[in-house]
Amino acid sequence: MASAVFLLDLKGKPLIARDYRGDIPLTAIDRFMPLLQEREEEEGTGLPVMTENGVTYLHLREKDVYMVALTRKNTNAMTLLQFLHHLSKVFTEYFKTIEEESIRDNFVIIYELLDEMMDYGVPQITEPKILQEYITQESHMLEITPRPPMAVTNAVSWRSEGISYRKNEVFLDVVESINMLVNPTGNVLSSEIQGAIKMKVYLSGMPELRLGLNDKVMFESTGRSAKGKAVEMEDIRFHQCVRLSKFESNRTISFIPPDGEFELMTYRLNTQLKPLIWCESVVESHRGRVEYMVKAKAQFKHRSTANNVEIVVPVPNDADSPKFKSTIGSVKYAPERSAFVWKIKQFQGGKEALLRAHFGLPSIRDDDPEGRPPISVKFDIPYFTTSGIQVRYLKIVEKSGYQALPWVRYITKNGDYQLRMPEPLSGGGSRLPPI
């Protein structure tokens, strides 16, 4: 429960202030910036939650604007931080970008939004699409006072009634991001899968959707055996439309979806993975030059193809005179990133590719292991999931009985995907063939 919400500039000067409960003097915000600076000096970073003299400050920064909630109550901090994130999302929908100028230009509508999104310090309506139905940016006179949509007073606050489409369709994307750190010898130091199920819903009326996954816990709780692989998901987070009581009782994902695009759920899997794209590198350092050989291998099934592969290999800051030769794709030197970028439009599973690079080095240096950044890799592999998660069914039920088309797509992409480089070889003649 928030006592007040403030929008501040970078100096800590209030741009917007909304007092909800009157139990904290508005001058308490003057302590926010000094408190934040003290914490940054002590901890090395600004903490999102800080307390002083019985007042708790929770904040979120967007470009040159601080969004701050104040409370005296023993409040759930995550609830208020989540509210600030929703506030940021709503402002972005309305103003496209959150910065000091856009806040000053739209302060009237911001006060309207703050009044609708929170009442007596309790979060209320946070869905941008519902708010946009009755809080508009056009300032025009209406003969009839507009009534708020039924969704505001409805139990289903994220969807309006009376939605109609000529063609009823649902698009569901299972998107998995791979976070991975690999040492120079190919041993995986850490790996995890961050998954999300994203939907685009174009359905008429108030449909009820039921989604079935190959969830290991569900199969175990019901005593059924899974046909194929079952997946044990961790840290599951749902959109507010999902009926949590049904999920907790029988692991059924049942919901009335918002209209349009939204993220239904996220999950995580802590599992030992092998690198989907492995880059073996050799670095030779000589007086006045440095040479690289990078061998990339797609370590997934032949029938899958990685698209838009981008391998970023770091080089010394003062490297110059680049020369490249690769068996596939294109290579460019990016001096602003102190790296060269190898782009492969399509990389089929099981294939290998080779790159040779040569740079001049005007200065002599001692190699610093701490100062050797890793190779980073970007990619996306359609129709493929590393975890093996599968949509078993997606049922759509609406009282009018119309037929709807569900479309399901799987995508695996990189997250924080890094491969450490070996120590440079030095001295003697070059072991690598000339370019």
- Tens of pLDDT, residue by residue over 367-376, are 555 568 999 9
C-alpha span between 372 and 376 (Å, rounded): 12
107-117 helix and 77-95 helix, angle to the nearest 10 degrees: 140
Mean pLDDT of the chain: 87
Tell me: pLDDT of 226 over 60: no
**Beta-sheet pairing, 425-426 with 277-286:** parallel
Between 289 and 142, whose confidence is greater?
289
- Specify the pLDDT at position 143: 42
Give the residue-averaged pLDDT of 186-214. 93
DSSP state letter for 129 = H
DSSP state letter for 241 = T
C-alpha span between 80 and 117 (Å, rounded): 12
Handedness of CA 172, 123, 85, 416 (dihedral sign): negative
Which SS3 state, helix, strand or coil, does residue 132 take?
Answer: helix
- Give one word for 150, left, alpha or beta, with left for phi > 0 and alpha for psi -120 to 50: alpha
Cβ 294 vs Cβ 212: under 8 Å:
no
225 burial (CB, 10 Å; 0-12 / 13-18 / 19+) is exposed
Provide the percentage of residues in the chain whose pLDDT is more than 90: 51
The residues with which 279 forms a beta bridge, in sequence order, are 296
Name the least confident of 310-319, 370-379, 382-391.
370-379
- Specify the pLDDT at position 395: 93
197 burial (CB, 10 Å; 0-12 / 13-18 / 19+) is buried
Q: How many CA atoms lie less than 13 Å away from 421 in the CB half-sphere? A: 27
- Specify the pLDDT at position 134: 79
Cβ 114 vs Cβ 16: under 8 Å:
yes
Tokens of 329: 């794709």
Q: How far apart are the first and last CA of the chain?
A: 66
For 232-244, how does the pLDDT look when each residue is reduced to its tens digit (9 = 90+)?
888 999 998 999 9
Tokens of 292: 């690289």
Tell me: pLDDT of 7 over 80: yes
Cβ neighbours for 108, distance < 8 A, ≥ 6 positions apart: none
Query: Which residue's structure tokens are 């939650």?
Result: 49
For 38-96, how does the pLDDT look when each residue is reduced to its tens digit (9 = 90+)?
888 877 677 889 888 889 999 999 888 999 999 988 888 888 999 999 999 999 888 88
Angle, alpha carbons 257-259-260 (nearest 5°)? 115
